[in-house]
A and B are shown apart, each in its own frame.
Chain A
């Protein structure tokens, strides 16, 4: 099954809708609760990152009996230093983002923790594509 969601810059009212939708679908499919949680936490963090930092983007989700693959692709500033961004506590979030409860510098570390495979393609000034895979049978 394939699902596509749009990401709108700075729209914290709707941020998380894709993750909520994926969560409902996984529940309907009978995926184990611990795998649902890992998946939606990772997707939610990536969704929030894109809303907070990018100028818009798209989420593509493919799910089969073996795995779920989530691709969050944004047009945005890119990540100048991925090693730094992966460090717990490092954040470049704006004050507005922090007011919404984010910007703790835990987004990418939380994504890494909750996925089995994580790939980040980023180009400064162009955008970032985060590809996350969670295997559902482990």
Chain B
């Protein structure tokens, strides 16, 4: 492992690699060390449920309880349509919102590691995303049950969730890095993000249909989180996402990744000081 750059025996050492290149190396290296973030994420899950009787099944149970509670109380339409809608929406939302709230802690929670060993910083973002993907996988178990029980016919459109989830994952990565950096630098950010996520939950059509928005429907493209939920939810329910959902999500992915990468390239050396 070289620290700043590779160097040879000569006295004239080459200049350190540019910050862009270093950041790129960081990201790529982080991605390729999948065994590491996978192991870390698994460890996180294990730690969370160590000593508990049901272990990771608590993830499913808590999700089921939430769906049941909200589904019974907020059912404004036909329950056979509402529950699948709610289930898929909540599972996706749960994934996205947890990545965001835990993204605040991407680097702060890894403080012990960051100040002890040199690892690519993106590892920690991957760890965060991977952990939540594992949780998502658990929760996803509920979805086929619900779809089958309520007779939802999905069809081939289900294939569309693959690029959708891929896109979501990419977004989760930059969000984890971005929020992780900002939160480490400005400690005011985590509570703000927390409040923000809670508010978004209520203004995003998850446990109520988008049509309920009325005239606010036109503002819906401004909510990228809706787009994120929509591109996964619609194919699973056998329909097609709203026309602009893919566009919004793609735009956010490109824009967010670019901004985050530039910021990451600039601020990466300072992260160790901040945590």
Q: Bound pair: A and B?
A: no
